[in-house]
């Protein structure tokens, strides 16, 4: 078991670098999360930012504890370990002297008259027989852009689709969002928007029940009436593992 502390002490500098770099990275992530919390307009978004900040602070503390643990092992544990003793060379190996193997004369070779060899038997080529039926070839899934409800919609997953509103629609007041949000391991789905001239997505609502070709929810655009313009709206469907297929994204004009 003494080999593990010795390895830690040997690569202590690398562990220090990893610990400091990890702490700085998670501190930076915590600062960004706090900035996101201050800019968030909705309670769900602020709660997510607070949780992200707490996780980043916890991981920064883990990195600092890692560096402190490596220092403690290198400074106090390794110096108190017993020194490694060289292995003794077995006495048998020193006394053993290899000797040359005796050469055994080979027996005389008697010439054997050649014998006739039989010609190889003719091989019959196999006859190909047609199959009773040609195996079915799976047809590729048909893909289409647009759904006849108002423009082209960027939906690549069958379980994540927006039927209405359509891409480029002008919206005001309360808007009913129709579509599909359903996966084999469904967990929840949510609405998100992106402000004009911004790359950050903000969560509007989240729902716990899957929907197939029906009403996904109602979106009240009244709070955005004071900032009219072109917004991006997307549907995100998440499974039990926390993963999700490509979200369905549309552009709408808030009047």
Instruction: Give the CA angle between residues 201, 203, 207 to the nearest 5°.
Output: 140
For residues 181-209, give the mean pLDDT: 94
| Second CATH level (architecture) for the domain 160-254 | Sandwich (2.60)
Q: What is residue 93's predicted lDDT score, i.e. its pLDDT? A: 47
Has this prediction a pTM greater than 0.75?
no
Instruction: Give pLDDT tens digits for 61-72.
Output: 998 898 898 888
pLDDT higher than 70, residue 28? yes
Task: Give the C-alpha separation, 232 to 55, whole Å.
Answer: 29
pLDDT at 96 over 60: no
| Contact in structure between 234 and 248 (CB atoms under 8 Å) | yes
Mean pLDDT of the chain: 78
pLDDT tens across 122-148, in order? 444 444 333 333 333 333 333 334 443
């Amino acid at each position: 078991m003494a080999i593990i502390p010795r390895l830690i002490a040997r690569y202590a500098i690398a562990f220090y670098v990893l610990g400091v770099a990890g702490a700085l990275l998670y501190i930076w992530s915590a600062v960004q999360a706090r900035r996101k919390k201050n800019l968030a307009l909705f309670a769900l978004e602020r709660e997510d930012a607070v949780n992200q900040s707490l996780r980043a602070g916890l991981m920064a503390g883990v990195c600092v504890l890692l560096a402190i643990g490596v220092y403690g092992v290198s400074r106090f544990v390794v110096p108190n370990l017993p020194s490694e003793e060289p292995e003794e060379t077995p006495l048998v190996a020193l006394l053993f002297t290899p000797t040359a193997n005796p050469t055994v004369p080979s027996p005389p070779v008697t010439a054997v008259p050649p014998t006739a060899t039989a010609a190889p038997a003719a091989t019959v080529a196999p006859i190909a027989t047609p199959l009773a039926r040609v195996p079915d070839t799976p047809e590729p899934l048909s893909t289409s852009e647009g759904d006849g409800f108002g423009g082209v919609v960027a939906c690549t997953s069958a379980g994540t689709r927006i039927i209405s509103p359509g891409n480029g629609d002008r919206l005001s007041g309360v808007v009913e969002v129709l579509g599909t949000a359903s996966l084999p391991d469904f967990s929840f789905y949510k609405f998100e928007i992106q402000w004009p001239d911004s790359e950050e997505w903000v969560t509007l609502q989240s729902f716990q029940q899957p929907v197939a070709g029906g009403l996904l929810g109602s979106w009240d655009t009244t709070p955005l009436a004071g900032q009219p313009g072109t917004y991006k709206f997307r549907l995100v469907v998440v499974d039990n593992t926390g993963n999700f297929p490509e979200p369905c994204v549309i552009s709408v004009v808030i009047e």
